[in-house]
Structure 1
Amino acid sequence: EAKDRVDPTLAAVPAARAGHPALQIEQIGGASTNKAVQAVIGDDLQKAGALSLPVTMIILLLTFGTLVAAGLPLLIGITSVIAALGVVAIPSGWLPIDGNLAAVILLIGLAVGVDYSLFYLRREREERAAGRSEGAALEAAAATSGRAVLISGATVIVAMAGMLISGDKAFISFAEGTIAVVAIAMFASLTVLPAMLSWLGDRVEKGRIPLLGRRRPAGRSRFWTAVTARVMRRPALALVLAGGLLVALAVPALQLKSVTSDIHQLPQDLPVIRTYNDVRAVFPTEGVIAQVVVEADDVRSGAVAAGIGRLRAAVARSDRFLPGSEVEVARDGTVAKVTVPTKGTGTDAASSGALDELRGEIIPATVGRVDGATVNVSGDAAMSRDSASQLNSRLPLIFAFVFGLAFLLMLVTFRSIVIPIKAIVLNLLSVGAAYGVLVLVFQQGRGEALLGFTANGGVANWLPLFLFVVLFGLSMDYHVFILSRVRELHDRGMPSDLAVQEGISTTAGTVTSAAAVMVGVFSVFVTLSFLDFKELGLGLAAAVLIDATVVRGVLLPASMKLLGDWNWYLPRWLQWLPQVGPEHVVVPPPAPGEPPPAEPQPAPVPA
């Protein structure tokens, strides 16, 4: 019914403009703004899809050197996204679905779908390069990387589930979509991908790219071998320098301010935005409005009416408000709405100061003193403040849920009480650094000219929590994958320090490729026009880049070196824990007549 009324109104404006070419006729309002928002989001999603796929394919071609091998992870990622969109569409009639959900599913689904299949495929190719048959290589990959993918996916799902207890419909919607796409990507990587590899056999090496196809399909990274060796020679210095860098990046996050996504998130050159700015310039009272809602048995009665009059007089005397307050009374006389024009944009310091004065001083001294009257304040500033307060009240519960379940999952996986504590600390450093980058670029406006946006004094209010749960989960991907290899080598009898160096150097190529895919996909969102998408893309890209380099390349080996065998400490009273991690799986022996696979040899330590 609303659409039937709105669409003819929107269509009337172009018709009037065509009939009166001498006049400038524009439109502004909820319907036209919503139409512009949906158009921008739709265009951005098309652009993201068009750019993400070739970027991902190029990175995979550089990784594998063959078209078929590179196409498999991309196929898993694309089909995971499509399947997840279909899954969330089923309950969309009765469950909340946020307008940004499709973008979130594309962003997360493509990244984890490619990552999980990349982990599996690289291990299978590594086993083949070591001399195993097709079947034995698949079994070895399933017993090692397959288990790591299962644990990584479970950790990501646990982190995403934290949004379900936020009490916010948008976050519940994000949780539904991200849990669905991660679960589907994990399932596809553990079932569909092995089946495809078994069917393809050696044909997975088809379509070799000249020069690229000559690269080793698997093995240790010379660069990260050298870095890890140097870090482990002076672990304390490396820990202080790298940790200090991340703390310095995280310091601006202490000033993080969240703002409600509104018309200011749209590109400023849109016709609807230009019209909005023109209207505000000519009619300032049509700008940001605070709505004071008064409820009483009879708002027209002397006491309530007098209180409303005193409120309007107090507003007129204050320099935080604009002239032109108005009163509307409901037909039954039980509700009055006082519209109060305020200075500011609705999310800046001026709007916040006006809200503080209105709630803290003016209302209590005027209509708020009237017996039987209930007074509330709405509007952009109030909505931004109240939604942030409501979310902040749930944060301790969300953090406890995510940290607690992630700790238990890592504890059972690695049978160590130190590993999960260290993983949580390292992940928090990555998240804190990403927050700091967001504040510097978007809140303080350091990247306006480069990224093409106008700073609105804060970060989208839904972003900090969403980034926390997503980054916490994604960071665990690399942590689980690397430590699974380290523990595997350690359990084979390799000394702890050597297992760390070898585990990191042999997984570094896979982690680098996976991180490159994620950073590539996330960076595409930085090029989009919707400010929320820019913030989301930069936050995720910065965090993954930091996590895959500074954290996993420096802080992880440094801390592992300093702690030594204490890394694997498990109190006696926890020895009953089951052994479920990939490090406890015995890799299948070669088939009769098959040459034994090459054992991993320690990498030479650079001088």
Structure 2
Amino acid sequence: MTEQTTRVAAGPPAGRDPGPREALSAASRAADATARFTRRRRRPLLAAWLLLLVVAGFGATRLADALSGGGWFVAGSDSAAAAQRVTQGFLGRGATSLTLVVEDTRHHQGESAFDSRVRDAVNRVSRDPGLKISGTHGYTTLSTEQARAAFLGEDRRTALVRMGSALDDGTARRVLPAIQAQLSDAYEPQGLRVSLVSQAALWGEVNHLSERGLLRAELITLPIIALVLLLLFRSVAAALVSLLVGVTSVAFTLGLLAVLARHTELSVFVQNAATMLGLGVGVDYSLFVIMRFKDELRAAGPRPDADAVEHAVARTLRTSGETVVASGITIVAAMSTLFLVDLNVIWSMALGAVVVVAFSILASVLLLPVLLHLLGPRIEWGALGRRGPARTTAARPSRWATVSHAVMRRPLLFLAVSLTALGVLAVPSLKLETFTPDARVVPTGAAVREGYDTAKDQFGVGSAAPIQVVVESDVPLWERDAPAAARLVAFHDALARLPGAQRVDSVVAPLRQVSPERPFAALAPAAATALPADLRSSVRHFATGDGRALVLEVVGEDTASSESVRGLLESVRTTADAFAAGDGWRVHTGGETAEGVDANEVISDSLLPVVATMLAVIYLLLLITFRSVFLPLSAILMNLVSMAATYGVLVLVFQEGWGSGVLGFDTSGYLTNFVPVLLVTLLFSLSTDYEVFLLSRIREDYVATGDGTGSVARGMAATAPLISGAAVLMVAVFTAFAFTGILPIQQIGIGMAVAIAVDATVIRLLLVPASMRLMNRWNWWMPGRKDVGRGASRRPTADQPATDQPAMSKE
């Protein structure tokens, strides 16, 4: 970027005294007061900043242990009630339910060594004091081959044991990864693959992988950001200061979230999402502020003193500072609409986004001026290359103005080509499917993923995540009369006959063999003691000791997220509703599929209110900023087209499998359910950010000149370098997270990288000038107001924008 380009991008000529309206505005007075305060207290403020940074950084290291893998349950939903009910009173189930998968690569069932090796692994796990196992049920607790058959894999080398743990979910999630690592280290050399499989184990591994992925992403991202900043600033000091602001925003956010996570449930995804957004936005904001400050210093002369530095800081805060605040408020307002979704995982990520953007604003307009006062002219330390003299206004127009003029000469052509290209990308979005994450978010090779895949391969795809039907009775089942018991048996049989159901795992079939007429009489304490030991164990796994609750597990033919199993769930719920009518029965349907369907329903029901509220907020902010009816509408429509194209790319990469080859992404056949709604708010927030940046400059020029076409060209010439630089930073950050994070973070990262790239190229370079050329003076129409550009006489050159009035621009 040349010096002249930097000056043009930095707004009105540096050093110009503000006009009366600007000087008297509250924002200007606040900027001047902040400049004076940060100059006088710069050293104490710096010391406090560094101290808080250390404290926040220490707190941030403790965040991962406090995060939850939950957040998917919908409060008051059927699936949440089922999940809560199965935690108490069942053998092999507990506050945390585990499935121990033992695969012997050297022996098979029938050899004495197989049973002894499996039993040794089960005993070690069940006696581990860190797990607090309260009961087991499975291969090693049963004695007959017939009873064991349900817990022996098709390869006759794999055994399952269900375990109930007294650990709460949060504690289990923290301890399971370490215990799993110990089991792998102990048994893999012996030819045994021992895996703990459960939701707690899965999310514990997700936590672990998130931490590692976050570290890798930071190691990749920070050097890339530093390199881009060096190319933009052409000085080492400025690049380091900008990077420090971004790191500060993230550290403060993670430190605060670590405190909040001790008192409320926060999703594991909040850490990566907040870091990814914080690095992008924090560095982005500091980029605009520092660019403007450097320009102001150059205008103050070769040796600016402390007063000149303070004046430069004040001028910077009046212009770039105000725009950073306005932009940040826009993002915070847009992201806050996600609080309308009553789902903790989305609420958590919205909180992380709001907090990190708020800290990015504070760091840019309060902490950054402290460093600017301390450095002053030394902000140019470590300059790269030799600065040439500024170009004169008679020099040839910038390439950005040339592109803009070319587009506006044929606006219909470029509009049609751009919309067609984005429309082609958007077509796959019509097939977009969403669901909650399952074990496939963990890469192959992880023990919990291997255990999940082994269980799926050896016991059937659906066995890894059956639909759980919890039947509760007002009285013990053995006290039910014969007609009521017959209705329950008929309900069990009806579930087994549903299309897509492979089988129903329960205690009903063996109890019918004991007593065909009154099968549940065998649940009575006196009768239960007379049952064979294997049957007693099975009874206690599927029925509570008080006989008031029974679990029926419907095993489907496919994965929990598949269309067929979701159809099966609908049939199960319909059948359950018919059975529960009367007779004192209560039925809750849960399991992974039910949780996902309930969560998807909440997101789907909330999507329209979220989008409508967000668009209304953005429209009002843009209406106030530009005092135009149609420009905000145009901006929103272009963002919708860009959003559809982004969804289309995500469907191709993650749903259709295009990313599994060259890119190496895992594909699950669907997008994580929170990704589309999160991307909507993120994209509109950041795109509006750039929209304000570009259109403020165009409006400023149009107010001064009345030249609709020329103002667009000059506005693009003034803002394109910084928009491009900021976009490169954003794309670098999001892409780094996409290639180092777990699957949902990969989807967000790729989505944001694509969206920002499209916004900074197709939208800003082609659609904006083409649409503004076609709208002409209607761009600035407002009821009851004359054309803001009428009567203007001065027309700047293509490289020198008008400066008669201050505009809220990012520079």
Change (3 A) 1:469 1:390: same
Q: Deviation per CA, 1:191-237: give whole Å up to 9, x if none.
A: 333342343222111112347x7698999994422221111111122
- Could you say which residue in structure 2 is the equivalent of 1:594? none
Q: 1:60 to 1:215 in 2, by over 3 A?
A: farther
Provide the residue aligned with 2:455 in structure 1. Answer: 279
2:467 counterpart residue number: 290
Preserved CA contact (<8 Å) 2:498 2:571: no
Which of 725, 732, 751 is residue 520 of structure 1 equivalent to?
732
Q: Secondary structure at the match of 1:236?
A: helix
Count of aligned pairs: 580
Q: Distance in 2 between matches of 1:241 and 1:144?
A: 36
Give the aligned residue type for 1:239: L
Cα distance in 1 between the residues matched to 2:595 and 2:669: 16
Name 1:255's counterpart in structure 2.
431
Selected match of 2:545 from 321, 331, 339: 331
Q: Quick one: which of 138, 148, 151 aligns to 2:326?
A: 151
The separation in 1 between residues aligned to 2:131 and 2:785, in whole angstroms, is: 67
Structure 1 SS opposite 2:658: coil
Q: Distance in 1 between matches of 2:601 and 2:183?
A: 45
CA distance in 2, matches of 1:382, 1:430: 33
- Between 1:324-333 and 1:175-184, the stretch displaced more is 324-333
Q: Give me the CA root mean square deviation.
A: 3.0
Q: Give 1:83-162 correspondences, 5 Å limit.
A: 83-127=252-296, 135=309, 137-162=312-337
- Report the structure number with the largest CA radius of gyration: 2
2:116 is aligned to none
1:293 shift after superposition: 1.8
Distance verdict in 2 for CA 1:335–1:402, change over 3 Å: same
Maintained 8 Å contact 1:265/1:531: yes
Q: Whole-Å Cα distance in 2 between the matches of residues 118 and 474 of structure 1?
A: 15
SS in 2 for 1:148: helix
More helix by share: 1
Stretch deviating more after TM superposition (565-574 or 150-159) = 565-574
1:526, 1:601 → 2: CA distance? 43
Partner of 1:72: 241
Mapped to 1, the partners of 2:499 and 2:184 lie a distance apart of 40
- The 5-angstrom pairing of residues 90-239 of structure 1 reads 90-127=259-296, 135=309, 137-210=312-385, 222-239=398-415
- Are the equivalent residues in 2 in contact too, given 1:65–1:209 (CA < 8 A)? yes
Aligned residue number for residue 586 of structure 1: none
Distance 1:546 1:280 in 2: 40
Alpha-carbon distance, 1:428 to partner: 1.5
Amino acid at match of 2:430: L
- Shift in Å, 1:11: 4.0
Paired residue type of 2:272: A
Which residue is 2:114 aligned to?
none
Asked whether 1:342 is paired with 2:562, we answer: no
Q: Does 1:432 align with 2:644?
A: yes
Change (3 A) 1:216 1:445: farther
Deviation per CA, 1:474-505, whole angstroms, max 9, x where unpaired? 11110011111112222233522211110111
* Most deviating of 368-377 and 424-433: 368-377
Give the share of equivalent positions with the same residue, in percent: 33
Task: Give distance in 1, aligned partners of 2:207 and 2:176.
Answer: 18
**Counterpart among 405, 414, 418 of residue 626 in structure 2:** 414
Which AA in structure 1 matches 2:420? G
Task: Pick closer, same or farther for the CA change 1:67–1:304 going to 2, 3 Å.
Answer: farther
Provide the residue aligned with 1:306 in structure 2: 486
**Superposed CA offset, 1:348-377 (max 9, x none):** 1232232233234x4356x34554323232
Instruction: Please tell me whether residue 498 in structure 1 is matched to residue 710 in structure 2.
Output: yes
Deviation at 1:309, TM superposition (A): 2.0
Q: Which amino acid aligns with 1:390?
A: V
8 Å contact from structure 2 (residues 213, 742) kept in 1: yes
After superposing the two structures, state which structure 1 stretch, 130-139 or 341-350, moved more: 130-139
2:195 match: secondary structure: coil
- Give the drift of 1:336: 2.1
Whether 1:559 aligns to 2:771 is yes
Distance change in 2, residues 1:11/1:442 (3 Å) = closer
Q: Which deviates more from structure 2 when the two are superposed, residues 287-296 or residues 490-499? A: 490-499
Give the unaligned 5+ runs of structure 1: 584-598
Structure 1: distance between partners of 2:354 and 2:467? 38
> Residues 198, 276 of structure 1: CA spacing in aligned structure 2 closer, same or farther, 3 A cutoff?
same
Do the aligned partners of 2:738 and 2:749 also contact (CA within 8 Å) in 1? yes
Is the partner of 2:645 in helix, strand or coil? helix
In structure 2, which of residues 659, 682, 697 is the aligned counterpart of residue 447 of structure 1?
659
Q: TM-score, normalised by structure 1?
A: 0.88
**Structure 1 residues 373 and 489: CA distance shift in structure 2, 3 A:** same
One-letter code of the match for 1:275? Answer: G
Letter in 1 for 2:215: Q
Encode CA deviations 1:5-62: one digit per residue, 9 max, x unaligned: 3659974984697479545141222243333222211111111111110111111111
- Please say if residues 440 and 446 of structure 1, whose CA atoms lie closer than 8 Å, have aligned partners that are also in contact: yes
For residue 29 of structure 1, the aligned residue among 163, 176, 197 is: 197
SS in 1 for 2:268: coil
| Rounded Cα–Cα distance in structure 2 between residues aligned with 1:373 and 1:23 | 48
In structure 2, the residue matched to 1:395 is 607
Deviations 1:63-100 (A, max 9, x none): 12211122222111111111111222333232331111
Moved more, 217-226 or 493-502: 217-226
How far is the alpha carbon of 1:155 from its aligned partner? Answer: 0.7
Counterpart-to-counterpart distance in 2, 1:12 and 1:458: 29
Change (3 A) 1:410 1:217: farther
Offset from partner CA, 1:142-188 (integer Å, 9 cap, x none): 33322222211111011110111111112221122111111111122
Query: In the alignment, residue 437 of structure 2 is paired with which amino acid?
Result: S
Rounded to whole Å, the distance in 2 between the matches of 1:394 and 1:489 is 41
Structure 2 counterpart of 1:264 = 440
Residue 601 of structure 1 corresponds to 797
Segments of structure 2 that go 5 or more residues without pairing to the other structure are: 1-94, 97-129, 133-171, 508-541, 790-794, 801-811
| Distance of 1:458 and 1:217 partners within structure 2 | 53
CA distance in 2, matches of 1:273, 1:208: 50
Change (3 A) 1:529 1:81: closer
Range that drifts further, 89-98 or 102-111: 89-98
Note the C-alpha offset of 1:520: 0.2
Equivalent pair of 2:738/2:747 in contact (CA under 8 Å) = yes
Specify the SS of the correspondent of 2:666: coil
| Matches of 1:33 and 1:112, distance apart in 2 | 31
Matching residue's letter, 2:405:
A
SS at match of 2:552: strand
The whole-number CA distance in structure 2 between the counterparts of 1:62 and 1:454 is 34
Aligned residue identity for 2:619: F
**One-letter amino acid of the structure 2 residue matched with residue 201 of structure 1:** G
Partner-residue secondary structure (3-state), 2:503: coil
Contact 1:348–1:456 under 8 Å retained in 2: no
Q: Which moved more, 1:183-192 or 1:314-323?
A: 314-323
* Alpha-carbon distance in structure 1 between the residues aligned to 2:428 and 2:270: 29
TM-score scaled by length of structure 2: 0.67
- CA gap of 1:286–1:523, structure 2 versus 1, over 3 A, is same
The corresponding residue for 2:780 is 568
Counterpart-to-counterpart distance in 1, 2:349 and 2:392: 36
